[in-house]
Chains A and B, each alone.
Chain A
Amino acid sequence: MNIYVCIKQVPDTETKIKLNSDQTWIDTSGIKWIVSPYDEFAIEEGLKVKAQFPESKVTIVSAGPDRVVDAIRTGLAMGADTGLHIELPETADHFITAQAISKALQKEEKVDLLFCGKEAIDDGAAQTAQLIAAAMDIPALTVILEAQYTENSVQVKREVEGGTIEVLESSLPAVIAAQKGLNEPRYASLPNIMKAKKKEVKKVSLADLGMSESDQKVKLKNFELPAPKAAGRKLDGTPAEMAAELVKILHEEVKVI
């Protein structure tokens, strides 16, 4: 099978976000970049399917500035075969990202399975996997906790609200967006990290795909940091007094209970 895993490089969750001087984007200087955590489940799932169908090839795809090649190397160190870097500006929207990935994959060998994380933890939009699927006219199966594969079909369990599970069957090719719990991502061993440095990472630009930045559909503007909150009120008294006062406030003043 030809397996593709699309991953995104995001700021580490410890990052304190600052804005750039004209508030048109965040200040990316000094950020430590990581592979978005849900994408690690996507990489692992690609490798697991390769173990089930040993003739398979796993390609790690990432769109973004040059720094994302580091994320691709992480996937290669986990055991993927080859990489594909689609050069995109930092500010590209999801639409253009998905179109670029879809067009780049059309130039590759036939796609059987494409894995993504269920969302990236930076913008949390949860769009790109579904956008790619729609651009390629294949099904998208999202928030997947469990999957069983045959040569040309997949059965999945999808997590929705309240812990309800939807069971779905789909033909392949399909896009699968991984939820935490789908598998247990492996750690890259040191020899594999060394080997990954020699694996091929192909580069494709927007122009190579006949696209330009002006194909974007949305732009983000007027960035703001959350307004600092006024100091809250600490209640005093015995625990029983504080509990009574809090319930009174929530019921009579704030009216939320």
Chain B
Amino acid sequence: MKTLIIAEQRDGTLKKPTKELVHAFSQAGHEVHVLLTGEGVQSLSETIGNYGAHTIHTAEASELKLYTAEATTRATLALVETIQPDAIVASHTPTGRDFMPQVAMKLGAGLASDCHQVTLSSDSITARRPVYAGKASAEVEFVGNGPQCYTIRANSFGNPSEGTSSAKQETLNVDLSGLKTKATSNESGNSGRPDVTEASVVISGGRSLKSAENFEILEKLADLLGGGVGASRAAVDAGFRPHRDQVGQTGKVVSPSLYIACGISGAIQHLAGMRTSKTIVAINTDPDAPIFQIADYGIVGDLFEVVPLLTEEVKKIK
């Protein structure tokens, strides 16, 4: 199967979900073509090759330096016309979910978005996606013409490993005249921590953290593990964390390898946002809190006591 993966980079750094996709589809035996867009990003195309890509098509232009959906869509459509892929795949990140629907509509093709259970063989892709924020899931069947388009949630495949590249390098020229949108600047979020949707470890806190400052004890543990810090809606509504950290049905849906819920009772809306995490740990003073029903490991205890102890224990193994 010929599969086109749209690479994602920010400030010249290749995003981890892109490595994951290139590695997983190459391993499954797809002929993986990758589109890389930006300005001065040639070195990243070498890295992409190390994850198993067949061909990397690089489009460089000043209009592609900062991401816009419009320019990325144009580049994707230009490449699709040349290589005629069977499937087009991007990560379900703020970037992938922004431009992929526009690509699909322009091609008259269907799009399966936010797929979180994906089974690959050399000639097929089977994808399930959550519905009702993970309270149920369904398989996506393509019934129309056109290439199959997918956006796939980060951490849906195992950790990608780097090998040696045997990839072909191509240059893609894209007509970028008459664009209607222009990216003028980026303001950095500056937390230095990965986003909860991309992190492989997420440490989340609830209202029982009692203040914004107290989240520092979760941040210390998260930073040791290279993880992200999430929050329940109650903690966000109390002003302890920004909405962008909220995990749940009206926040972000996450699937990390490890999710540690600290002082979160486990409202149905919160469970919907994190139940696909591979390993779930709950720390709560209330032994009857619903979060324990989906936790793989539970500690009945005070997070203010337990989390710093965990941090000390993790330091010992690092």
Contact = CB atoms under 8 A, between A and B. Distances in A.
A218 B101 CA distance: 13
Interface residues of A, dominant DSSP: mixed
Interface in B205-261: 225, 242-244, 249-250, 253, 257-258
Please indicate which of the listed interface residues A133, A162, A220 has the most CB atoms of chain B within 10 Å of its own CB.
Answer: A162
B301 interface: yes
Contact of B306 (A134, A170, A239): A239
Please indicate which of the listed interface residues A131, A161, A218, A249 has the most CB atoms of chain B within 10 Å of its own CB.
Answer: A161
Given A134-B102, A168-B181, A243 B250 contact: no
Given A131-B105, A242-B306, A164 B131 contact: no
B189 A167 contact: no
Given A170-B180, A221-B139, A233-B296, A123 B131 contact: yes
A126 B132 contact: no
A133 B98 CA distance: 11
Interface residues of A, number: 82
B84 to A, nearest CB: 18
A204 to B, nearest CB: 20
Contacts of A171: 180-181
B27 interface: no
Interface string A223-246: 111100100111100011011101
Interface residues of B, dominant DSSP: mixed
Contacts of B113: 125-127
Nearest to B10: A164
Interface in A135-178: 135, 138-143, 155, 157-171, 174
Contact of A127 (B101, B146, B181, B201): B101
Nearest to B317: A251
B56 to A, nearest CB: 23
Which 10 A-B pairs have CB atoms at the shortest separation, nearest pair first? A163-B189, A217-B110, A134-B105, A243-B309, A130-B101, A161-B195, A217-B144, A247-B313, A218-B110, A220-B138
Interface of B: 10, 66-70, 73, 93-95, 97-102, 104-106, 108-114, 128-144, 146, 180-191, 193-195, 197-198, 200-201, 225, 242-244, 249-250, 253, 257-258, 268-269, 275, 278-282, 287, 292-302, 305-306, 309-310, 312-314, 316-317
Given A165-B189, A171-B181, A234-B292, 10 more contacts: A15-B132, A17-B131, A127-B113, A130-B69, A159-B244, A162-B189, A163-B195, A246-B297, A256-B200, A257-B258
6 contacts: A19-B136, A124-B130, A124-B133, A163-B191, A243-B299, A254-B296
Interface of A: 11, 13-17, 19, 26, 37, 93-95, 98, 121-128, 130-131, 133-135, 138-143, 155, 157-171, 174, 180-181, 215-226, 229, 232-235, 239-240, 242-244, 246-251, 254, 256-257
